[in-house]
Amino acid sequence: MTHSQASRPTYSASNYQVNYRGNHQPIGVFDSGAGGLTVLKELERQLPNEPLLYLGDTARVPYGTRSPEEIVEFARQIITWMVGRNVKMVVMACNTSSALALEKMRQEFDIPILGLIQPAAKLAINQRRRIGVIATPTTARSHAYRDAIKGRSPSTAVWEVGCPEFVPIVEGGRINNPETLDIVRTYVQPLLDQGIDSLVYGCTHYPHLAPVLDQILPGAIARIDPAVSIVRDAKEVLDTLKLHHVAPLQNHRFCVTGDKAQFSLLANQWLNEPPTVDQVSLSATISPTLIYPIPLAI
Ligand code: DGL
């Protein structure tokens, strides 16, 4: 069984309740940059009471042209950093990390870690049978989506296209530039030529390109956003482990490893409230301002 075919482990209260100290702690959410904000918004929609600790690894974006080894190492550093801040669960809001690093991280860390690929495959096959996937080159090369979809529904046809130019467009704030339409069309046209009936956003940056895709995709083609399904999964795990946050909502925290300014600009456009963003070093000692309170008794 390949990484992408492996289903979510069964998280049981007896395994985890002892180790994870309680529902006050945030859910850690990470991506290479601002793409994961599409998942964060879905978390806010489905789980409005949960405090979130968001990390955008903007010093190293884009991930999607990097080697599998780098992706694994970056995930390891980020999850180590998040565990140091007492997260109760990690949501990989990054398809590239989910495709390349999820299973390894589940072996290395004793904390629930959720990835995007399997929940998205489950969602996709419920809907259609000719599925196009736009993804980063590293995700497309891994065939994580093809394997996950065909693992569930062998007769479903899947085409994956790596789109190296999309993340720089989104991170660079160039979505509305005139040349973006032609660039996006170049990558999507081969999928249209195959007669796809649905399109998976195989990178969390891509839902930001929806206004451009609206001009290219016929309305009959369903869009599948894995954010919806990973958050359903997160909700189920919180249910099972009885880890839902019950106290009044704490503010989310937003951290980046690179420059704060560009991330803040994008986050201000996409989130309801302009966030305060901290720049952090993943190897630095824990800053007390970033530690969430741990309940004294559980
Ligand atoms: N948003 C991430 C993904 O879903 C990473 C994209 C990138 O940095 O290339 O794959």
With cut-offs at 50, 70 and 90, classify the pLDDT of residue 246.
Answer: confident
Query: Beta-carbon neighbour count of residue 192 at 10 Å?
Result: 15
Whether pLDDT at 81 is above 50: yes
Is the Cβ atom of 25 under 6 angstroms away from ligand 1? no
Ligand 1 atom nearest 96 alpha carbon:
10
Give the model confidence (pLDDT) of 255-276 as tens digits.
Answer: 999 999 999 999 999 998 889 9
Give the model confidence (pLDDT) of 209-218 as tens digits.
Answer: 999 999 999 9
Element (H, E) at 90: strand 89-92
Is the Cβ atom of 100 under 6 angstroms away from ligand 1? no
Domain edges within the chain: 27-115+228-290, 118-226
Is the Cβ atom of 142 under 6 angstroms away from ligand 1? no
Q: Using alpha carbons, select from 208, 259, 204 the residue that is nearest to residue 58.
A: 259
Examine domains 27-115+228-290 and 118-226 and report if their fold is the same. Answer: yes
Q: Which two tokens stand for residue 252?
A: 């989310």
Distance (Å, whole) CA 242 – CA 163 = 39
Over residues 91-114, the mean pLDDT reads 97
Whether pLDDT at 94 is above 60: yes
Give the model confidence (pLDDT) of 169-186 as tens digits.
Answer: 999 999 999 999 999 999
- CATH architecture type of domain 27-115+228-290: 3-Layer(aba) Sandwich (3.40)
Whether pLDDT at 283 is above 80: no
In order, the DSSP letters of 114-180 are E-SHHHHHHHHHHH-SEEEEEE-HHHHHHTHHHHHHHHH-TTSEEEEEE-TTHHHHHHTT-TTSHHH
The active-site residue out of 105, 123, 203, 256 is 203
With cut-offs at 50, 70 and 90, classify the pLDDT of residue 250.
Answer: confident
Is the Cβ atom of 63 under 6 angstroms away from ligand 1? yes
CATH for 118-226 is 3.40.50.1860
How many Å lie between the centroid of ligand 1 and the Cα of residue 33?
8
Element (H, E) at 235: helix 226-241
With cut-offs at 50, 70 and 90, classify the pLDDT of residue 297.
Answer: very low
Q: Which two tokens stand for residue 220?
A: 């009959």
Ligand 1 atom nearest 61 alpha carbon:
8
Lowest mean pLDDT among 19-23, 78-82, 139-143, 206-210: 19-23
3-class DSSP assignment, residue 189: helix
